Amino acid sequence: MITLEYITLGTGILLMLMGIWGLFTQKNLIKIVIGFTLVDTGIHILMVSIGHIKNRTAPIIDDAVNASEAADKVVDPIPQAMVLTAIVIGLGITALMLTFVVKMAKDNNSLNVSNFKSLKW
Amino acid sequence: MIKKLLLFVLLAGAGVMFWTGISDYEVKQDLNPIASYYADQGLEETGAANLVTAVVVRYRGLDTLGEVVILFLTASILGFFLIKRDGKNDFRESSEILKTASRLLEPIIILAGVYVFVNGHLTPGGGFQGGAILASALILAYLANPNDSISKTLLKITESFSGLSFVIIGVLGIILAGGFLDSTLLPAGSIGNLISAGVIPIIYLFVGLKVGSELAGIVTNLKYAPKNESE
């Protein structure tokens, strides 16, 4: 039976596979970077869905969730905090990769990865 | 052909590997011990109603500092690689619709960003999200008036000041309270109020300013990326 857990986990895995496919087949440097960000996003979805617990709410204590019974009512806050960190790091890495792409495109006048002879051995 | 076959084998292998990882995934019924400790004690120890904020700023505060440092390094390396001497590019004028709409939207977006990081300890949100919203307002300004430029010095000063304040608050925590980045440096206040949760709102304010100015700096650097030498 298909439940919410399997939909989210499956989406994460599918995105990761699409990203890996992009990393290995695409010739355009910017498309390779897009493939990397797809893997990144897939991992984020996977992590958040692993932290999810059925019929529970967001880890914020307010009128709906009393402090005394919070442990029985909220989902796991740790994966969410980790994904928050991971998104920011992913942004930094993506910006860095795009910088290298700009630099490489400027030096070789091409975005096609096949034209970078210095990468071959 | 052999390449395609290898790729197919790789993808199939990765797919099978991931799928066996989750195929017998059991839906969890309870929090693990450390998460339930955070859920039970988080409010009492930090005063932050948003438990994700409690984890990010208090329990894993050192991780957050490292994260901010990584973002700073990214911005620095970007500036190093994309440096351009004269700093002038000629962009096409943007349309009247975009210009007028951006004048209307920018203050609202900035207000939304500030709201998100000032309320980070109460509602979903926080310094990183609010900073990203702030930066998006600056990016809209760039799109509307591509030939104007935000002062890089101002961005650098905001960024350095926020980063330094973050570390100083952390060190003050060692001297005056229980440890590095301890949020009980200031009184916890009444839970649910804007001014509560000790130093968490202050830390998130600085994180928001720092992330906002850093992302704006990254976009500024990418905007002035050098063109090809041949041109």
Return the domain boundaries, chain B. 2-223
The better pLDDT of the pair B191, B35 is held by: B35
Q: Which residues contact B193 (CB under 8 A, 6 or more apart)?
A: none
Closest by Cβ to B74, choosing from A61, A76, A95 = A95
The better pLDDT of the pair A118, A102 is held by: A102
Partners of A109 on chain B (C-beta within 8 Å) are 228, 230
Highest mean pLDDT among A28-32, A53-57, B176-180: A28-32
Nearest residue in chain B measured CA to CA from A7: B22
The helix (H) or strand (E) run that includes residue A44 is helix A29-50
Nearest residue in chain B measured CA to CA from A75: B31
Partners of B10 on chain A (C-beta within 8 Å) are 20, 24
Closest by Cβ to A77, choosing from B7, B38, B73 = B38
Residue B208 has pLDDT above 80, yes or no: yes
Partners of A88 on chain B (C-beta within 8 Å) are 67, 70-71, 128, 211
From chain B residues 70-99, the ones with a CB under 8 A of any chain A CB are 70-71, 73-74, 77-78, 81-82
Q: Kindly determine whether residue A20 and residue B14, on different chains, have CB atoms separated by under 8 Å.
A: yes
Percent of chain A with pLDDT strictly greater than 70: 93
* Ranges A29-38, B62-71, B184-193: which has the least confidence: B184-193
**Gap between the Cα atoms of B84 and B55, Å rounded:** 41
Question: According to the CATH classification, is domain A4-119 in 1.10.287.3510?
Answer: yes
| pLDDT (mean) for B181-207 | 72
Phi-psi region of A109 (alpha: psi -120 to 50; beta: other; left: phi over 0): left
Partners of A9 on chain B (C-beta within 8 Å) are 22, 25
Is B32 an 8 Å CB contact of chain A? yes
Tokens of A106: 């400027």
| pLDDT (mean) for B108-134 | 85
Q: What is the pLDDT of residue B184?
A: 67
